[in-house]
A and B are shown apart, each in its own frame.
Chain A
């Protein structure tokens, strides 16, 4: 019985040591493990200079502009603090929409992010179209109510 407990303790101490080591390694790698950086990072200059990197954020509502060739688009990516304008030539993924998440790869030139790849980021919400419509209506009603409340002050 004694040796069993000793072996068990050995394994547990070993595991704890490993966990600490892994934690330190992951902490050190933190910035490399992030898939993309935010517009705030870009504005602050915390990005790889001269090489391609990934920029992630929300596509700003109403910012999507299509050029006459039908393939080149401009849109703004925001993290609700800073905004970066992105240009891309190519086919956008089906889920790409204003107001949803996006991850783009490209280079920063003259304040414009020239993307070579645009990926749509999906969120964790799954629901039927009816429910989505209901939620949207509810949201609009709330906003109208809030506006009405403001107007009555």
Chain B
């Protein structure tokens, strides 16, 4: 069993085998994501009850909390791929890490933005420099730094190595974000949902939030696979299989010019 798995792992670590597999998966993840998004938004806006204290403005959590979770999870996965890319020098892992970054940055921004809009009516301010908000902002800067560093170096292998180091160092920020509300006095409230604890939230609210989380999750997989397929074509454009895939119609047209 383990032997079989390791074979599959090596098989799909080759861009040539990964590319068609990703292509087959993408439509499924899109379909799942859109379905979950429709169900989650419907539940969030029409099924989940009004909050006893905040009224309707709390409904931003159906976007805010899943986005904040995704911002941290994507960074963790990205750093994981960065480590694999560094240690095993796997091109596919390097490409996956760089494909995850823009989506992670987008979710971080979404979490900060929706948080600001929730903070104004609830706390009375858009922004406060407490540990939770500041560390989440640092996460956004880490993503932006990672993307910039990668695009600043022309050689893709060197770019991947340098940015992988940055991604790995930045992992330190994740526990700080996660536990900031318990370690220090913050304006941001503690976690309503955390492992090994009874959720401090009405069950309809929790269900809607979890559905939205899976919607964001499947969206991320779909969009990252699309992005990584493009990167594969760019970085592997010297190989015969990519040439056969994209070069074929071009050769035909050049033949046509000759005639």
**Residue B178, interface by CB 8 Å:** no
Q: Which of A97-153 touch B at CB < 8 Å? A: 103, 117-133
How many chain B residues sit at the interface, stated as a range, is 35 or more
Closest CB in chain B relative to A66 CB, distance in Å: 17
Which of B168-176, B219-227, B228-236, B243-251 binds A? B168-176
State whether B176 touches A126 (Cβ < 8 A).
Answer: no
- Identify the interface centre among A38, A118, A124: most chain B CB within 10 Å of its CB: A124
Chain B proximity of A53: nearest CB distance (Å): 12
- Specify which of B121, B192, B200 is in contact with A94 (CB 8 Å cutoff): B121
Cβ–Cβ < 8 Å partners of B87 in chain A:
4, 7-8, 11
**Residues of the A chain whose Cβ atoms lie less than 8 Å from the Cβ of B202:** 126-128, 131
Q: What is the bound-complex CA distance between A39 and B183, given in angstroms? A: 19
**Number of A-B residue pairs at CB separation under 8 A:** 115
> Is A18's CB within 8 Å of the partner chain B?
yes
Q: How far is the CB of A143 from chain B (nearest CB, A)?
A: 20
Is B4 interfacial (CB 8 A cutoff)? Answer: no
Chain B residues positioned under 8 Å from A95 (CB to CB): 53-54, 122-124
**B176 and A26 form a contact (CB under 8 A):** yes
Nearest CB on A from B195, distance (A): 15
CA A107 – CA B183 in complex, angstroms? 25
| Set of chain B residues within 8 Å of A11, measured between Cβ atoms | 83, 86-87, 168
User: CB-CB < 8 A to B88: which residues of A?
Assistant: 4
How far, in Å, is A121 (CB) from chain B's closest CB?
6
A8 to B80 alpha-carbon distance, docked (Å): 12
With an 8 A cutoff between CB atoms, is B69 at the interface? no
Q: Is the interface of A mostly helix, strand, loop or mixed?
A: mixed
1/0 per residue B186-218: CB within 8 Å of A?
A: 110111100000001110010000000000000
B199 to chain A: closest CB distance in Å? 9
The chain B residue with its CB closest to the CB of A31 is B184
Q: Is the CB of B83 within 8 A of A35?
A: no
Chain A proximity of B127: nearest CB distance (Å): 11
> Given contacts A11-B86, A26-B176, A127-B52, are A35 and B192 in contact (CB under 8 A)?
no
- Jot down 30 A-B pairs with beta carbons below 8 A, ordered by A: A7-B87, A11-B168, A14-B168, A22-B172, A33-B131, A34-B131, A35-B131, A35-B185, A35-B186, A36-B185, A36-B187, A93-B123, A95-B54, A103-B187, A118-B124, A119-B125, A121-B187, A122-B53, A123-B189, A125-B192, A126-B54, A126-B192, A126-B205, A127-B51, A128-B51, A129-B52, A130-B49, A131-B52, A131-B202, A132-B52
